[in-house]
Structure formats: C-alpha cells, structure tokens
Amino acid sequence: MFCGDYVQGTIFPAPNFNPIMDAQMLGGALQGFYCDKDMLINILTQRCNAQRLMIAEAYQSMYGRDLIGDLKEQLSDHFKDVMVGLMYPPPLYDAHELWHAMKGVGTDENCLIEILASRTNGELFQMREAYCLQYSNNLQEDIYSETSGHFRDTLMNLVQGTREEGYADPAMAAQDAMVLWEACQQKTGEHKTMLQMILCNKSYQQLWLVFQEFQNISGQDMVDAINECYDGYFQELLVAIVLCVRDKPAYFAYRLYSAIHDFGFHNKTVIRIIIARSEIDLLTIRKRYKERYGKSLFHDIRNFASGHYEKALLAICAGDAEDY
C-alpha cells in the first residue's frame, strides 16, 4: 500500500441535522433526575465534530450552560473521557492529549510519539495554535523541557511541521538511503542528526523511494535496521515515522493492538486513537486490524471494555454485523 491510497473514517456528517433539537435532547438527558447515557451516545457518536460544536453552541444559548462542563459533571471514568473527547475540535483534542502527556508526574512518551509522528503539516500547525490558545504555553518549549537527547531533537523537528509535501526525487533517494545506512553503521551524534533530518523533513513519497533503496543497499528492512542500531524512545519514534510513511492506518492498528493486548487495555491510547481517527481513517484502521491480527477491533473492544464505555467506543467504530 502507498500512503496516498484511499482511506475512510467511520463518522460522517448526519443528514437532516438539527442542532437545536439535539441540544434539547441532550439537555433532557443531562439535566433530568437520571442521566440518560444511551441518549448521549446515540446523539454524540452519530454526529461529526463540526456538528457537535454547533450542538454545543445551541446548548449554551438554550440553557446558558457549557455542554462540556455538564458532561464532565454528570459522567465519570473512561465513559466521560470518550464523551468529552468527542466535543473537542481535532486540533484542540491533540493539544489536550499532549498537555496531559507532559504535565502529569512523568511524561507519557508514547503519546508524544504517536501524535507527532503521524500528523500532517496542517494538523501540526493547528495543534500548535490550539495548544497556545488553550494553555497559554508554547508546545515546542514544553516538549523541549520535558524530553532530552536525540529523542527531543526529533520531536522538535516533527512538531514544526516542515515536511516537504508531494515531492519525490528518485536521484536523491539513493543518496538519502546511503546516509541512513551509514547512520545505522556509525551511530555518532552527527549521524543520528542526519537520520532524523531525513525522516522528519523529506516527503512521504520521497521516503517511500528511500526505504526501497535502503533495502537494495543493505539487504535489510528499514524498521529492522533501526531496531538493531538504536534503542529507547529515539528508536521507537524513528520506527513510528517509518510505519506512518508506509501505511498510517496499519500503524494505528498496531498501536491499538499493542494498547489492548500488551498493556492490558491501555484506555487512554484506545480512546485517543478511536476519537482522533474517527473522521479520517478509522474504517481503514479496522480493516488493517482484522487483516493483521485475525480478530476484529470490535471483538477486542467487546472483550476488554464494558458498560456505556464499551457502547460508546463501538458506536464510534461503527461496527458491521460481521464484526460481532
């Protein structure tokens, strides 16, 4: 598969959308004696993000209350995280996840890797803006203070969102591949810098060619070479970039599988990927998951999650009958 191939999300704009009616229904569900969680799921998972923002506006003018505030007040645990997460515009959701990854005790490096290795230039630009507006902080400065070494250098390069787009130069590809090969042999600081400069700044189309050339020169797959030569978060970040270049939905399928099976259902990761990719490529991610791991994502969520939390995740995944 090439990264330009067609991908599809699971959530689309609802037809015959009426934000005022939706806001009324949500008001009834949230402000009654009993919180109608099924109603919340039926409305919020079946509207696209732009529609949810319009519902929040209608809710505010109708009740003089903040919908996110009411969701936070009425709901709890992972179900709350899903429903509140759906209400953020995508750049703010990314910013929110990065802020919490860095601001708690310790840093959640896996969250930084997953978001920064996979987002496009445009998404990175909007994320930086949202981060600054929401937290009055500079995203680059926070990353700089929370990380170190070549891992930090690579993140700092990625977050600038200056990757070339749509450009490929076959003549350059062999040269770049040689630099990567040398970087895997020599492993000096200078070589690590050259390695991350190529992986962070060349277009996906160019890197596709570079990885083929690398295989020709070294007889080795790029990911295997990185795993052999480097370790720690630097190595994990480089591998994430390579996997995203090759097949982004497959990368997220791998992240989900690992979060579910290797980390005993790491809720934060599962929620983040399912929400963040719902309108981009979640349907394709589900296909890759099934192809790669034999079981459907639907099946694995049902096995590990429960209650309204499970219902909400499955509703966003928009499962088909054969997924049960």
Q: What does the pLDDT look like over 264-280, one tens digit per residue? A: 778 999 999 999 999 99
Statement: residue 2 has pLDDT above 50? no
Q: What is the pLDDT of residue 3?
A: 46
Task: Tell the residue number behind the tokens 């990175």, with chain if given.
Answer: 124
Task: Tell the residue number behind the tokens 């978001």, with chain if given.
Answer: 115
Instruction: Give mean pLDDT, residues 46-75.
Output: 97
Q: What is the pLDDT of residue 188?
A: 83
Instruction: Give mean pLDDT, residues 26-41.
Output: 91
Q: What is the pLDDT of residue 264?
A: 74
Q: Where are the domains of the chain?
A: 90-160, 170-246, 248-303
Give the Cα separation of 100 and 90 in Å (integer): 15
Give the Cα separation of 24 and 62 in Å (integer): 8
| Continuous H helices in 136-221 | 139-146, 149-159, 170-186, 189-201, 204-218
Kindly report the CATH number that applies to the domain delimited by 248-303. 1.10.220.10
Q: State the DSSP H helix or E strand holding residue 283, giving kind and residue range, or none if neither.
A: helix 282-293
Q: Comparing 314 with 263, which gets the higher pLDDT?
A: 314
Q: Which two tokens stand for residue 85?
A: 């997460």
End-to-end CA distance of the chain: 27
Angle, CA of 137, 140 and 143, to the nearest 5°? 95
Backbone angles phi, psi at 203, to 5 degrees: -65, 160
Contact status, residue 83 vs residue 48, Cβ threshold 8 Å: no
Q: Which two tokens stand for residue 91?
A: 């750049």
What is the tens place of the pLDDT at every residue in 156-175? 999 999 999 988 898 999 99
Q: How many CB atoms lie within 10 A of CB 151?
A: 21
Average pLDDT, the chain: 93
Give the Cα separation of 311 and 302 in Å (integer): 9
Statement: residue 86 has pLDDT above 90? yes
What is the tens place of the pLDDT at every residue in 92-109? 999 999 999 999 778 899
Q: Is the pTM of this model over 0.75?
A: yes
Q: What percentage of the chain carries pLDDT values higher than 90? A: 85
* 187 Cβ contact list (under 8 Å, min separation 6): 229, 230
What is the tens place of the pLDDT at every residue in 174-199? 999 999 999 888 878 888 899 999 99
Give the Cα separation of 309 and 111 in Å (integer): 21
User: Residue 196: what residue type?
Assistant: Q
**What is 170-246's CATH number, 1.20.1530.20, 3.10.105.10, 1.10.3210.10, 1.10.220.10?**
1.10.220.10
In this chain, the answer to whether the domains covering 170-246 and 248-303 adopt an identical fold is yes
Kindly report the CATH number that applies to the domain delimited by 90-160. 1.10.220.10
Q: What is the pLDDT of residue 1?
A: 43
Task: Tell the residue number behind the tokens 């060349």, with chain if given.
Answer: 202
DSSP 8-class letter at 165? -
Q: Which two tokens stand for residue 276?
A: 């963040």
